[in-house]
Amino acid sequence: MKRIILITGGAGFIGSHVVRRFVTRYPDYLVVNADKLTYAGNLENITDIESNQNYRFEKTDIVNKQAVLDLFSKYSFDGVIHLAAESHVDRSITGPDEFVFTNIIGTVNLLNAARSSWKEHPEGKVFYHISTDEVYGSLGKEGLFTEETAYDPRSPYSASKASSDHLVRAYHHTFGLPVVISNCSNNYGPNQFPEKLIPLAINNIKNNKPIPVYGKGENIRDWLYVEDHSAAIDLIFHKGKVGDTYNIGGNNEWKNIDLIRILCSIMDKKLNRQNGTSEKLITYVKDRPGHDMRYAIDSSKLQNELGWSPIPEFSEGLEKTVDWYLSNTTWLERILSGEYEKYYDMMYSGR
């Protein structure tokens, strides 16, 4: 094997796309997917590649220091792509602790293990930390987040990710650990857990349930198709400058309510409903506490230096996403039963 790569969180939404991309594009890499399999981790996301020769799964909780050290002794990793995290803002509001454990302590455990394992030969190694644009805080009507924007996290989720970003940079400056970081905007696409806006809305429209829109639906997000993020991760992992940060975004800003209206119209078409039927399900609910108003990314550094650009138009990406959810009903139904049902009731009843 030419390189042994650790991908953390590879059973989650973005991680599963990254694992598939690396396993299929780089047959001479051994790809080790370490995931705790929380509620958000699902090995069914990657059944198509699970029997490939160059793929291994290791059930690992990154908060468990010894388990992380054992993993680094078992494999001589040449690179790490760290995606494992608690990722949902609403859950970070109802229960911040897990975000501190996984996102901060889990990251430190990986940094320590990489540092001690690469001490003698750091050449050619890279610790790639995947982060979010939410660390920059909330924008007003104007402006974009650049790599120089000061951090101003405002939810327990973004504060825990900001903290992990700082630690990754500190390990670079203090210990010379070869690191690279990227901060990406909101992703959408197949395999996203249906607690996030787009898959939640698709599922509710399908089942004629109310579509909960927080506040007035005026908040703006910059949406990127998950495979575009995955392609950016591939590029940054291989060509990113050690010590640098890259912002990744879709240049694709939408107010939540406008996005939901487009989704309703796509769903009406796909479900052979009269145009306008699904929009009737839109229900304004109590706003998220501390709800960030607008995120928008300037990804010109990544575009100019590494030649990346996002591919599908939003309507095309959304249509692909809707098609995936409508034809993967078993995947969805399995997730929607049990614990998730309890979460949904807790989060949305009486809102």
12 binds ligand TYD (CB under 6 A): no
Q: Are 302 and 246 in contact (CB under 8 A)?
A: yes
Question: Which residue's CB is nearer to ligand NAD, number 191 or number 278?
Answer: 191
Using CB under 6 A as the binding rule, whether residue 87 contacts ligand NAD is answered as yes
Pairing status of strand 245-248 against strand 179-184? parallel
Judged by beta carbon distances under 5 to 8 A according to partner kind, the member of ligand TYD, ligand NAD, none in contact with residue 214 is: ligand TYD
Which residue among 12, 190, 212, 250 contacts ligand TYD (CB under 6 A)? 212
Q: Tell the smallest beta-carbon distance from residue 87 to ligand NAD (Å).
A: 4
Q: Going by DSSP bridges, is the β-strand pair 220-225/253-255 parallel, antiparallel, or unpaired?
A: antiparallel
For residue 157, indicate whether it is catalytic.
Answer: yes
> Using H for helix, E for strand and C for coil, what is the string for the chain?
CCEEEEEECCCCHHHHHHHHHHHHHCCCEEEEEEECCCCCCCHHHHCCCCCCCCEEEEECCCCCHHHHHHHHHHCCCCEEEECCCCCCHHHHHHCCHHHHHHHHHHHHHHHHHHHHHHCCCCCCCEEEEEEEHHHHCCCCCCCCECCCCCCCCCCHHHHHHHHHHHHHHHHHHHHCCCEEEEEECEEECCCCCCCCHHHHHHHHHHCCCCEEEECCCCCEEEEEEHHHHHHHHHHHHHHCCCCCEEEECCCCEEEHHHHHHHHHHHHHHHCCCCCCCHHHHEEEECCCCCCCCECCECCHHHHHHHCCCCCCCHHHHHHHHHHHHHHCHHHHHHHHCCHHHHHHHHHHCCC
Q: Rule CB under 6 A: is residue 196 a binding residue for ligand TYD?
A: yes
Stretch that binds ligand NAD, among 77-85, 107-115, 146-154, 255-263 (CB under 6 A): 77-85
Interaction of residue 204 with ligand NAD, rule CB under 6 A: no
Asked if residues 219 and 296 have their Cβ atoms less than 8 Å apart, the reply is: no
Question: Please, which residue, 30 or 200, has the CB nearer to ligand TYD?
Answer: 200
Judged by CB under 6 A, the number of residues near ligand NAD is: 31
Residue 15 in contact with residue 84, Cβ under 8 Å? Answer: yes
Catalytic-residue membership of 340: no
Tell which one of 4, 26, 27, 38 touches ligand NAD (CB under 6 A): 38
Does position 19 interact with ligand NAD (CB under 6 A)? The reply is no
Taking residues 84 to 123 in sequence order and writing x for each that binds ligand TYD by CB under 6 A, - otherwise, the string is -----x----------------------------------
Q: Which is nearer to ligand NAD, 15 or 240 (CB)?
A: 15
Does 125 contact ligand NAD by CB under 6 A?
Answer: no
Q: What is the Cα–Cα distance from 300 to 309, expressed in whole angstroms?
A: 9
Min CB(269)–ligand NAD separation in Å: 26
* Choice among 35, 61, 133, 292 that is catalytic: 133
Instruction: Indicate whether 40 belongs to the interface with ligand NAD (CB under 6 A).
Output: yes
Residue 200's binding partner out of ligand TYD, ligand NAD, none, with CB under 5 to 8 Å set by partner kind: ligand TYD
- Look up 323 and say whether it is catalytic: no
Contacting residue, 23, 213, 235, 297, with ligand TYD by CB under 6 A: 213
Among 20, 29, 41, 156, which residue interacts with ligand NAD (rule: CB under 6 A)? 41
Contacting residues toward ligand NAD, per CB under 6 A? 8-9, 11-15, 35-38, 40-41, 60-63, 83-87, 102, 106, 130, 132, 161, 184, 186-187, 193
Contacting residues toward ligand TYD, per CB under 6 A? 89, 186, 196-197, 200, 212-214, 219, 221, 256, 288
